[in-house]
Amino acid sequence: MNFLTGRFAGFLGPEQKLGPLVRLFRANFRPYARRYAFALVMMVIAAAATAGSAYIIKEIINKIFIEKNEGLVFTIAGIIVAVYLVKGFATYFSSVTLTKIGNSLVARLQRQLYDAVLRQDIAFFQSHALGDIMVRISQNASAARSAIDLIVLSLGRDLFTLISLIAVMVVQNPTMSALSLVIAPIAIYGVTHLLRKVRTAARKEVVTSAQIITIVQESVQGIRVVKSFGLEDRLRAAFGRATANVEQLSNRIATLGARSSPLMETLGGFAIAFVVMFGGYQIVHHNADPGAFFSFITALLLAYEPAKRLARFNLDLEKSLVGVRMMYEVLDLVPELQSAPDAVEARFEAASVRFDRVDFAYGEAPVLRGLSLTVPANSVVALVGPSGAGKSTVFSLVERFYDPTGGAVLINGTDVRRFTVDSLRRHIALVTQDTFLFDGTVAANIADGRPDATPAEIEAAARDANAYEFIMAMPGGFEARVGEGGGNLSGGQRQRIAIARAILRQAPILLLDEATSALDAQAERDIQEALGRLMTGRTTFVIAHRLATVRDADLICVMDKGEVVQSGTHEQLMAEGGLYAHLRALQFRDETPTVAAVG
């Protein structure tokens, strides 16, 4: 099941809605508590200053315009400047503090998300598109920040401002205050019903954004295939559809959100018109206090913006909450494959590996059926067989990327499930066919084999891997950068860096998937020689493509459809005939350079 599209059900009750929020606050409030408190105090001060600016209107009208008290002009002007000064600085400090908290929160959540993703087992990565994962890490943390910002700003700034302005209104004219507040429930009701639609659309938007990223990423990674097969049009069309979908969904969210505006504006217009009529009537016929009336109407006008934002609060929160929920889906993912609670540290110098009637399936269809195989310590077993026979799966089970569905994989007689996953993998070095290097220096890539290796050990590993010379010929030597995915190096050079990395690991078990691509004769010899050194003194599983490797192996296992159909040495198997002899003719590359026959 795709975790982006699964589980999500349309409308959620208040508990489900508050759940992620409560969690978000619980987990992240404490480190920022003091800064939040400071921001809150600043927002209260700014709110009070806003109310003060409305309150003072009464004095301006009554003392200056009606009583014409000249002596108070400067005092009042001074007070006005002071009030706005306070408001300005308080707003500045609160917004800077909140921004910093927000940035720190995003960084913190992104680290947690990345950790959660790294923690997952291989099966997770097989079943989730990279785009999903990337969107979750990049967008969901920001959504969490918006949710918190929204709550703090709404409660701190808008609610306090509103309350203090209502206080001013009540002080200046209690009757009119009561009457104009009747509007509030109507507004809240109107906005709430827009919620459900926004929620669904926001969720879809995130999913579709993930598709966009997946398409871009695949296009970049597979650019050679894209160009040589002329797939641009197909990809452009897919990309066009995804972007059009996002556009449509964003529009829908915006339209739904904006629908609150006509509602609020109309209601606001009615409220003000009513106040003007009622207040005017009181002044004309009952000689009411004009200063109080203007102060009231100022407070009402100022209250309008925060009230509008508070009315939309739920709506905006809903959008961010979609991201928060999706974030917790990732943080809550528990990898199926983990160390057992009573697992022990693996500790061995030499490893004999045994597959004991191992059954395995990725899904429904069995991939390994009762596979039994014994590899004595420090010997080399070559796995051969048609593609799809299950050779790579054997590797995955030794690494414990997956657990067998039946039987067991044993190292020195101990089931690998008894070891902690980390300690088991420290005893294994993997050399894959498509060598993967990280963008960084040559030295750093070799050191990935064993992070505590000294420069001298790195150099020795490079020499053993026949990589020393070409490394030294590169500008910068060991400090030269390999480029993204090792792009600055040739295929043969990448392989030798990968071999050096594996040599440095000093692991008793080696899993080697020989490269299928042919190199020039010299590079082949260099690599063969390096591999020879790498295999010495280790228990080696090799998915063999070269005849020399197969010939030299202590044991050859011929696999077909998840079973070992033949095993023995090269000579024995050639004598037996069968699948091996057949494969021999088809599959193995003889790297002794041959002169192509010219027709």
| Residues binding ligand ADP (CB under 6 A) | 126, 362-363, 367, 385, 387-393
- Would you say 144 and 117 are in contact if contact means Cβ atoms under 8 Å apart? no
Instruction: Give me the least distance between CB of 401 and ligand ADP, in Å please.
Output: 9
Q: Which residue, 51 or 583, has its beta carbon nearer to ligand ADP?
A: 583
| CA angle, residues 207, 213, 217, in degrees to nearest 5 | 145
Minimum distance, C-beta of residue 244 to ligand ADP, in the bound complex (Å): 32
User: To which H or E segment does residue 70 belong?
Assistant: none
Can you tell me whether residue 465 is helix, strand or coil?
coil
* Nearer residue to ligand ADP within complex by CB, 203 or 545: 545
Q: Of 246 and 511, which CB lies nearer to ligand ADP in the complex structure?
A: 511
Nearer residue to ligand ADP within complex by CB, 153 or 380: 380
Q: Report in angstroms how near the CB of residue 383 gets to ligand ADP at its nearest.
A: 8
Closest approach, Cβ 390 to ligand ADP, in A, equals: 4
C-alpha 539/C-alpha 133 separation (Å) is 36
Own/partner long-range contacts of 76-83 (Cβ < 8 Å, ≥24 apart) = 80/53, 80/56, 83/49, 83/52, 83/53, 83/56
Burial of 70 (0-12, 13-18, 19+ CB in 10 A): exposed
Q: How far is the CB of 495 from ligand ADP (least distance, A)?
A: 19
What whole-number distance in Å separates Cα of residue 34 and Cα of residue 103?
16
Q: CB-wise, 13 or 363, nearer to ligand ADP?
A: 363
Closest to ligand ADP by CB, 490 or 516: 516
Nearer to ligand ADP, 293 or 402 (CB): 402
- CA angle (419 as vertex; 413, 424 as ends), nearest 5: 95
Q: Is 513 left (phi over 0), alpha (psi -120 to 50) or beta?
A: beta
Q: In angstroms, what is the minimal distance from the CB of 565 to ligand ADP?
A: 13
CB of 126 to ligand ADP, least distance (A): 4
Query: Nearest distance from residue 125's CB to ligand ADP, in Å?
Result: 9
- How are beta strands 353-361 and 406-411 bridged, if at all? antiparallel
What lies within 8 Å, CB to CB, of 267 at 6+ separation is 183, 186, 187, 190
Nearer CB in complex with ligand ADP: 209/567: 567
- CB of 388: closest distance to ligand ADP in angstroms? 4
User: Which is nearer to ligand ADP, 146 or 393 (by Cβ)?
Assistant: 393
Q: Where are the alpha helices (DSSP H) in 120-194?
A: 122-127, 130-135, 141-152, 160-172, 174-180, 183-192
Q: Burial code of 101-127, b = ≥16 C-beta within 10 A, e = fewer?
A: bbeebbebbbebbeebbeebbeebeee
Q: Residue 442: helix, strand or coil by DSSP?
A: helix
Toward ligand ADP, which CB reaches closer, 389 or 553?
A: 389
Residue 5 Cβ, how far from ligand ADP at the closest point, in Å? Answer: 20
Shortest Å, Cβ 557 to ligand ADP: 11
CA distance 540 to 381: 6
Query: Which CB, 365 or 473, lies closer to ligand ADP?
Result: 365
Distance CA 582, CA 574 (A): 9
Instruction: Give dist(CA 217, CA 222) in Å, integer.
Output: 8
Name the residue nearer to ligand ADP (CB basis): 125 or 281.
125
For residues 131 and 385, which CB has a smaller minimum distance to ligand ADP in the complex? Answer: 385
- Dihedrals phi, psi of 383, to nearest 5 degrees: -95, 125
Least distance from ligand ADP to the Cβ atom of residue 400, Å: 15
Determine the number of helices (DSSP H) and then strands (DSSP E) in the chain: 24, 10
Q: Are 160 and 44 in contact (CB under 8 A)?
A: yes
- By the 8 A CB rule, do 547 and 573 touch? no
Least separation in angstroms between CB 113 and ligand ADP: 24
Rg of the chain, C-alpha, whole Å: 35
